[in-house]
Structure 1
Amino acid sequence: MTTTMIQAQAVSDRVADGPLRIGTRTTPLALAQTRRVVDAIQARVPGLPVELVKIRTTADLWSGDLARIGGKSNFTKEIDHALVRGQVDLAVHSLKDVPGDVPLPAGTALAAYLERGDVHDVVVTRDGRPLADLPAGAKVGSSSVRRRAQIGLFRPDLVVERVRGGVDRRLEKLDAGEYDALLLARAGLERLGLADRVTEVLPTVWSDGATPAIVPAVGAAIIAVQVRTADAVITELAESFSHEPTAICATAERALLHALRGHCNSPIAGHCHITPDRQLSLVGMVFSRDGSQWVHAHRWGALDDPASLGVAVAGDLLHQGARRLIEATRK
């Protein structure tokens, strides 16, 4: 009996009394991402019954500024509670929505990362005009302080306003004329089959104001799987389909975020990738709310120690004054 067959039998025995329960948010994007996790699981345990436990989170019910109700934890806390209480066997998150300034609930861990998608941010407009051709005063919708700060650097004449709701709801608001453009994640549009809505793909390499660019969010385009660490069978199952290069980059980026102690209103960007010569390259940036001030750091490190690289880049940013910028966004 092969190791894969032994694992499949162990998982089948573990959920013999019912389906494997997967906790997920209820948005179309969350469900599309969770179906990718289901495919990964059933590729290893064919025919395994699976139930999606759809949980509406506080963030899904709140249309205002998340900072007013405690930040990004509102994307995950109800799902975390269900996992801790044993109401679900594992949980699926967009990694960028998992807070970096607070630890995961005791007894849980991120055990798997699916292969990272496209990290670019994009512009979607009603009439197909790119960012550079939008008139002064055009209304741009974005829920991300990171995007708002970086776009404010290049086009301070645009009116960037918060827009909440799922991607489908945001596009409805754009089409209805409430906004002239939206800033969105390319990966989310692709996972929803909406890539044709993209007007312009923005570079990820920040060029000091010469060309519009947006450095990605920490954890951008990564689907993460959270488990109870005491549940060895499910933990091993998740670890078996984790994409190692993505896991390495995620570790570096989240070490950076944790060391900065950024909150949900902090315009923090961080992107790690593996270079052709097998090194880790990590860029970190912290902005003021309007993008008029920023600090930037870039280091390379070894594949076998991504956390140290994240801490080192955070140290460079803090030395340049990142703490002052982060604290100013709390006001």
Structure 2
Amino acid sequence: MRELIIGTRKSHLAITQSNWVRAKLLEYKPELSIELEKIVTKGDKVLDVTLSKVGGKGLFVKEIEQALLAKQIDLAVHSLKDMPAELPRGLVIGSVPIREDVRDCLLSRDGLTLEELPTGSVVGTSSLRRQAQVLAIRPDLVVEPIRGNLDTRIAKLRDGKFDAIVLAVAGLKRLNLCDEISEYLSITTMLPAVGQGALAIECREDDQEILTLLQGIHDEATGNAVKAERAFLQAIEGSCHLPVAGYGVWKEDKVHLTGLVASPTGKPVIKGTEIGTNPLEVGKQLAKKLMEQGAKEILAAV
């Protein structure tokens, strides 16, 4: 086996995730030699504008995918929720390891829960999905955009720029920052982003050696669940700058998929569930169902 190079963003979380994948691969094949290549993406450079205004999901993966196609790296580790529904020609997701906690959580300056925040409190999130669901429950709160890596966002909360912020539990767990959490938000309160809590290991579709290797750390239940979520996202034509959520669970050879499309104002919210044995079909069927219930009009307005 040749020496492998993993492409990763430079953030603390991205490097932690890539080192975790590196360790898993070495557990599976101890004879491997694996290096990390840190790559700066557009999403890391443009920090003063909300994601929806500068191109959404592809911002955190494009430069890394270009390095993959140019054969400067052998594989790339991404947060699956950062990946567009369609991949560039020639690239595939070779493995989805076992998923971390999928939930979102609230960090507040005084340890208050979402219900306890005073009227007019300012909640920071860069996600329209989170904004819509916060305002659906608490229309009396003010939601403002926040950008930057986890450490930066937590610092902005401490500095008093926000009364609370909403983050993914998975990232905080991976960085041992769970002490910062004021409230874990249930999936019924805050349906996660498509792919949240999961890692995607991307490689070239013609690199059989890497594809075979990656199967050794693939988790089938996670893979089937996120396949349904991503099929739903693709059928909705969603990206992370649209208020779309989706969460699947694979059990007893079926995927149970819940999806949501909401107006950024929190009203209306359209939600539904679909169950079936074929993850791709379940995703498409749920998208069709929500579109017929009015999701199309919400997305057109956004």
Residue 206 of structure 2: which of 211, 230, 233 is its match?
230
**May I ask how many residue pairs the two structures share in their alignment?**
301
Aligned residue identity for 2:286: V
CA distance in 1, matches of 2:145, 2:90: 35
Query: 1:55 aligned to 2:55?
Result: no
> For the Cα contact (< 8 Å) 2:132–2:263, is it kept in 1?
yes
Residue 69 of structure 1: which of 51, 54, 57 is its match?
54
Report the Cα offset of residue 69 of structure 1: 2.1
Match of 1:89 in 2: 74
Residue 167 of structure 2: which of 184, 199, 217 is its match?
184
CA distance in 2, matches of 1:60, 1:86: 22
Which structure 1 residue ranges, 4+ long, deviate > 3 Å from structure 2? none
CA distance in 2, matches of 1:164, 1:54: 20
CA distance in 1, matches of 2:31, 2:159: 43
Report the Cα offset of residue 47 of structure 1: 4.0
CA distance in 2, matches of 1:48, 1:76: 25
Match of 1:219 in 2: 195
Query: 1:262 aligned to 2:238?
Result: yes
Report the Cα offset of residue 22 of structure 1: 0.4
Residue 106 of structure 1: which of 84, 89, 108 is its match?
89
Q: 1:280-325, CA deviations, whole angstroms, 9 ceiling, x for partnerless residues?
A: 21111100111111211111111xx111111111110111121111
Report the Cα offset of residue 265 of structure 1: 2.0
Query: 1:272 aligned to 2:226?
Result: no
Gaps of 5+ in 2: none
Gaps of 5+ in 1: 1-11, 206-212
* Sequence identity percentage: 41
Query: 1:307 aligned to 2:280?
Result: yes
Aligned residue identity for 2:180: R
> For the Cα contact (< 8 Å) 2:105–2:169, is it kept in 1?
yes
Report the Cα offset of residue 263 of structure 1: 3.2
CA distance in 2, matches of 1:148, 1:247: 28
Report the Cα offset of residue 279 of structure 1: 2.7
Q: 1:78-121, CA deviations, whole angstroms, 9 ceiling, x for partnerless residues?
A: 00000000010001111100012xx2111110010010111111
Match of 1:28 in 2: 12
CA distance in 1, matches of 2:31, 2:266: 50
TM-score for both structures, normalised by structure 1 = 0.89
CA distance in 1, matches of 2:55, 2:187: 29
SS in 1 for 2:115: helix
Report the Cα offset of residue 327 of structure 1: 1.6
CA distance in 2, matches of 1:254, 1:122: 22
SS in 1 for 2:72: coil
> For the Cα contact (< 8 Å) 2:124–2:143, is it kept in 1?
yes
SS in 2 for 1:252: helix
CA distance in 2, matches of 1:45, 1:218: 30
Query: 1:286 aligned to 2:261?
Result: yes
Report the Cα offset of residue 278 of structure 1: 4.2
Q: 1:140-180, CA deviations, whole angstroms, 9 ceiling, x for partnerless residues?
A: 11111100000011111111111001111100111111111
Match of 1:3 in 2: none
Match of 1:320 in 2: 293
Report the Cα offset of residue 139 of structure 1: 1.1
Query: 1:158 aligned to 2:141?
Result: yes
Report the Cα offset of residue 188 of structure 1: 0.8
Match of 1:210 in 2: none
CA distance in 2, matches of 1:130, 1:236: 45
SS in 2 for 1:308: helix
Match of 1:128 in 2: 111
SS in 2 for 1:170: helix
Match of 1:46 in 2: 30
Match of 2:64 in 1: 79
Aligned residue identity for 2:94: A
Aligned residue identity for 1:72: K
TM-score for both structures, normalised by structure 2 = 0.97
Larger Rg: 1
